[in-house]
Structure 1
Amino acid sequence: MSVVKKKKHVSKKNKKAWRKHCDITDVEAFLEDQRLEERLGKFEVKPDAELFVVDTAGDEVKVKEERPLTAKAKKRAKLAETPKCYEVLIPSSKVQDPNAKRNHVNPTGTKPTALSKLKEKRRIEKGIYEKKAELAKKNRKMALNQKRKMKSTRQNFGLDLWGQDLPEAKGIPSTLVDDFVSTEAQLHNVLPERRLRPKPPLAKTVVNRKAVELPHPGVSYNPSFKEHQELLQQVVQHEEKIIKRGEHLQRVTTGMFSKVTVQEKENQWREEMNLNEQPHNPADESGSDSEYRAVNPPVQNKKKDHKARRKQKERLLEKERLKREKIDKKKITDLYKLRKLQSSITTKEQTQEKVRELRSTKRAEKAETAPPALNKNKPPQKEPDFVDPADLSGNLTRLAPSTNLLRERFESLQHRGALAATKLMMKKKRRVKSYFKPGHKVTDKEIERYINKKDIK
């Protein structure tokens, strides 16, 4: 038997007490059901086809074993589905608009303002829209002409249209070229060298670049006299360049400063600091100390007379006249030199144009054969290889190697762009200091050995 609880009477004076002691769960459940019906639709309105399913097959129906879909079929089936990212945008609520006669409001910017009307009027007066229409018409015409031109260029009447499609061109044996043999069987019997795809053409820079640079004939262990002398001249020129650069660096760095001895340096310092002893002059002692002596003698203000001023004025006028005559004479000579100046300017421009063309052609040739820039470092400059005439043996077995073969091949790969150029990084060795730890067990021989070792270093 259920026990009926006695209702507890509480004060409901304030809004807080009403919220605390009033049970509104039934109202909230009713409103929640009503909102759910508004979203999903009412059962009375829904048709029977959505609510019920008619079972016509029965219980004893064998379930059809379906093959699992392949990955490709699964992807194709998913194409018709709505993506997950767009499912949020699809409206799921079936709540009708409470205001059925809602006025259509244009979005911001669609309604023309007074300023936009004035701007439109000015544009029409200027004829901007007509210019745009003419330009669009012109562009359409140009595109059409370009399309026609491309179609006309594609027509090549000297090409064999059926040559590429013939089975013999594909490498299929003539014995298998029949209607009853399938294409798979025909391609299966194609020779392996014909079945492979043709290699694409190499890049322009790779084609023009040398694969392996051949060494100079004078490097041979038994070269001719002429080739050996040519290589010798190249090595001499290379060494002269290095010596010249070293002399230049010596001249602009160390050679700019004069060398002085310690005594000369001290004498210069004494002269600059004015520390040398002044020579004793007995004439200075003569005379009283109270007498004032000026460093500069007094100057008399001697006035020029009228004749001197006139002569000075005449000299200035004559100097000005000669200057003006010289300028006028130069103007006349420059007029006669105009043709010569014009010819010199034209010849200079022609020579500059020739030099510019030569530089551009050289730059283009260098760019064609230049290796690709794989990183910021540049490959090391190749040093000329040379064998001294005294070391030439004429026999390969008795010839001493002058270079490292592995290093030479590595630098060759860098020069040809197959490997990125590297930079030699030298690590500094740490100078470890040694200390002598004195103790009561240290002998005199150990101390002497440490001192001698320190002196040698």
Structure 2
Amino acid sequence: MSVVKKRKHVSKKNKKAWRKHCDITDVEAFLDDQRLEERLGKFELKPDAELFVVDTAGDELKVKEERPLTAKAKKRAKLAETPKCYEVLLPSSKVQDPNAKRNHVNPTGTKPTALSKLKEKRCIEKGIYEKKAELAKKNRKMALNQKRKMKRTRQNFGLDLWGQDLLEAKGIPSTLVDDFVSTEAQLHNVLPDRRLRPKPPLAKTVARKAVELPHPGVSYNPSFKEHQELLQQVVQHEEKIIKRGEHLQRVTTGMFSKVTVQEKENQWREEMHLNEQPHNPADGSGSDSEYRAVNPPVQNKKKDHKTRRKQKERLLEKERLKRQKIDKKKITDLYKLRKLQSSITTKEHTQEKVRELRSTKRAEKAETAPPALNKNKPPQKEPEFVDPADLSGNLSRLTPSTNLLRERFESLQHRGALAATKLMMKKKRKVKSYFKPGHKVTDQEIERYINKKNIK
């Protein structure tokens, strides 16, 4: 016979002691069963068809072998099923709502408010909805036309196989030229040195002559008049360059005055008060130990009533004269209105003429100016001139003054066929050489290093 142990008497003053010394497993099991029944439903309320299955086929009945469903049939069968991604949103609990008489609240935006009704009425009166409908209709039409146009271009078989429109000719490898690869992807996989570069538009190319006729004074045997005309043009060009250089000199270096070393030292002495004469005690003005301020003390001399009255009268008289002058100017301006009106009209006409002249010049310059293919501008053409001492009546003894290749290159830039370039001068790095002495260094190597340094 088993001996029943007597329970200990423990304190159950707190919740912690109750949980520690009380056995509540049966209560927790009961509550778990109750919650499970609330979620899945009670067994007493479920019909027998859900709980039991009647076996009518028997064990000996052979199940007919059914053919496996095709992929198409499986897809059709899955159409009626709820997708797995939406199963989380479906309610899985069968717990009833504790408040059966709960008021139904429409979500925000389902019921129109007074403000939304007023806004909709204003939109209908202004015709905003009709404009939106027309714009949407127009966009749909444009998209349809674009789609039809793309279809038409795809069906075009009149492509020149040996032309420059082929992707292979543009630098794209033949392995990437496929229909299903987009043009952006093809260009992305091309090497950087073979990628397409934007070509200048042909419509903006300036219609200039390929070879411009030079001035007759450049000839190896020009006439005196033509040679003097060319000389005047060169002189004017050089004067412009000299004038610009003088202007830059004036506004940069010329703005600062040059001071000699002696003047600089004298200015410094004046600022530091070093040129003041020392105090002489023979003057009798005081002893050496007496302190003297540079600025004498100011006496607070009070103004009397008469001085203040005179000062106030002067201020009032000055103000009166100022107002009188302003009133007089107003009267004179009234008589000058007609003259002012005529001068303003004349000035406006003059400004209008100047504006028209500038716009005409700007338009002419834009027509003849080369297109801006990049940030650089083509170099200005320098006037050619042959010195009178170099003139010769024979073409064989003439020395060429220009380079033909450079002239053709600049001509292409001026006409917009080539983008203007900028000469980039690379700086030479100054590499310092050092002599590392050692026990294996000979006298010949030392002399060679010293001679090399002297030559540099």
**Interval containing the TM-score (normalised by the shorter chain):** 0.5 to 0.7
Q: Contact 1:371/1:417 (CA < 8 Å) preserved in 2? A: yes
CA spacing shift, 1:201–1:24, aligned 2, 3 Å: farther
- Residue 422 of structure 1: how far off its partner (Å): 0.7
Deviation at 1:406, TM superposition (A): 0.6
User: Contact between 2:218 and 2:385, CA under 8 Å: does it hold in 1?
Assistant: yes
- Say if 1:38 and 1:94, in contact at 8 Å, map to a contact too: yes
TM-score by length of 2: 0.55
Question: Could you list the per-position Cα deviations for residues 137-173 of structure 1 after superposition, in whole angstroms to 9, with x for gaps in the alignment?
Answer: 9999999999999999999999999999999999999
Do the aligned partners of 1:216 and 1:231 also contact (CA within 8 Å) in 2?
Answer: yes
Preserved contact between residue 220 and residue 395 of structure 2 (Cα < 8 Å): yes
Verify the 8 A CA contact 1:219 1:386 in the aligned structure 2: yes
2: CA distance between counterparts of 1:50 and 1:35? 20
Q: In the superposition, relative to structure 1, how do residues 291 and 403 fare at CA in structure 2: closer, same or farther (>3 Å)? A: closer
Q: Distance in 1 between matches of 2:389 and 2:21?
A: 120
Residues 398 and 82 of structure 1, relative CA distance in 2, 3 Å threshold: farther
| 1:314-353 deviation digits (Å, cap 9, x = unpaired) | 4333333322222221111111111111111111111111
> How big is the alpha-carbon RMSD for the aligned residues of Structure 1 and Structure 2?
13.6
* Deviation of 1:259 (Å): 3.0
The answer to whether the 8 Å contact 1:219/1:385 transfers is: yes
Deviation at 1:101, TM superposition (A): 27
Does the 8 A contact of 2:378 with 2:414 survive in 1? yes
The answer to whether the 8 A contact 2:38-2:94 is kept is: yes
User: Whole-Å Cα distance in 2 between the matches of residues 180 and 311 of structure 1?
Assistant: 101
In the alignment, the residues of structure 2 paired with residue 322 and residue 185 of structure 1 have an alpha-carbon distance, to the nearest angstrom, of 84
Contact kept in structure 2, 1:205 and 1:369, CA below 8 Å: no
What is the Cα deviation at residue 397 of structure 1? 0.7
Rate the CA distance shift 1:244–1:312 in 2: closer, same or farther, 3 A: same
Q: Distance in 1 between matches of 2:336 and 2:186?
A: 87
Bigger RCO of structures 1 and 2 (CA < 8 A, at least 6 apart): 2
Moved more, 415-424 or 155-164: 155-164
Verify the 8 A CA contact 2:206 2:371 in the aligned structure 1.
no
Question: Distance between the aligned counterparts of 1:173 and 1:307, measured in 2?
Answer: 105
After the TM superposition, which of the residue ranges 359-368 and 73-82 deviates more from structure 2? 73-82
Say if 1:371 and 1:132 are closer, same or farther in 2 by CA, change over 3 A: closer
- CA deviation string 1:235-265 (max 9, x = no partner): 1111111111111222222222333344544
**Residues 150-159 or 176-185, more deviating:** 176-185
Which consecutive unaligned segments of at least 5 residues does structure 2 have? none
Q: Report how far residue 417 of structure 1 moved.
A: 0.8
| Shift in CA distance, 224/153, structure 1 to aligned 2, threshold 3 Å | farther
Describe the shift of the 1:65–1:251 C-alpha distance in structure 2 as closer, same or farther (beyond 3 A): farther
Q: Provide structure 1 residue ranges, at least 5 long, that are not aligned to the other structure.
A: none
Deviation, 1:357, is: 1.0
- CA offsets per residue over residues 406-431 of structure 1, 9 Å max, x none? 11111111111111111101011111
Counterparts of 2:127 and 2:248 in 1: how far apart (Å)?
70
Superimposed CA distance per residue, residues 425-449 of structure 1 (whole angstroms, 9 cap, x where no aligned partner): 1011111222233345656676456
Compute the TM-score of the two structures, normalised by the length of structure 1: 0.55
Among all aligned residue pairs of Structure 1 and Structure 2, give the percentage whose two residues are the same amino acid.
95
What is the aligned residue count?
456
Per-residue CA deviation, residues 281-326 of structure 1 (Å, 9 max, x unaligned), is 3447974466565655565555555554554444333333322222
Question: In 2, are the aligned partners of 1:205 and 1:368 still within 8 Å (CA)?
Answer: no
Task: Please state whether the residue corresponding to 1:175 is helix, strand or coil.
Answer: coil
Work out whether residues 217 and 227 of structure 1, in 8 Å CA contact, stay in contact via their aligned partners in 2: yes
Measured at CA, do residues 402 and 105 of structure 1 come closer, stay the same or move farther in structure 2, by a change above 3 Å?
Answer: farther
SS at match of 1:371: coil
How far residue 215 of structure 1 moved from its aligned partner, in angstroms, is: 1.3
1:370 Cα deviation from its structure 2 partner: 2.2
1:393 matches 2:398: no
Return the alpha-carbon distance in structure 2 between the equivalents of residues 302 and 195 of structure 1. Answer: 90
* Between 411-420 and 157-166, the greater mean CA deviation after superposition: 157-166
**For the Cα contact (< 8 Å) 1:221–1:396, is it kept in 2?**
yes
Q: 1:162 to 1:38 in 2, by over 3 A?
A: farther
Q: Distance in 2 between matches of 1:195 and 1:294?
A: 82
> Does structure 2 retain, via aligned residues, the 8 Å contact 1:204–1:368?
no
Deviations 1:335-379 (A, max 9, x none): 111111111111111111111111111122222222222222111
Q: Which piece of structure 1 moves more, 62-71 or 110-119?
A: 62-71
| Deviation string, structure 1 residues 196-240 (Cα, Å, up to 9, x no partner) | 999999847644x33432211111111111111111111111111
CA deviations on 1:3-35 (whole Å, 9 max, x unpaired) are 999999999999999999999999999999999
1:70-123 deviations in Å (ceiling 9; x for gaps) = 999999999999999999999999999999999999999898777655554566
Deviation at 1:269, TM superposition (A): 4.1
2-structure distance, mates of 1:436, 1:177: 60
In 2, Cα distance between equivalents of 1:405 and 1:130: 68
Counterpart of 1:15? 15
> Would the aligned equivalents of 1:205 and 1:370 in 2 still touch at CA under 8 Å?
no
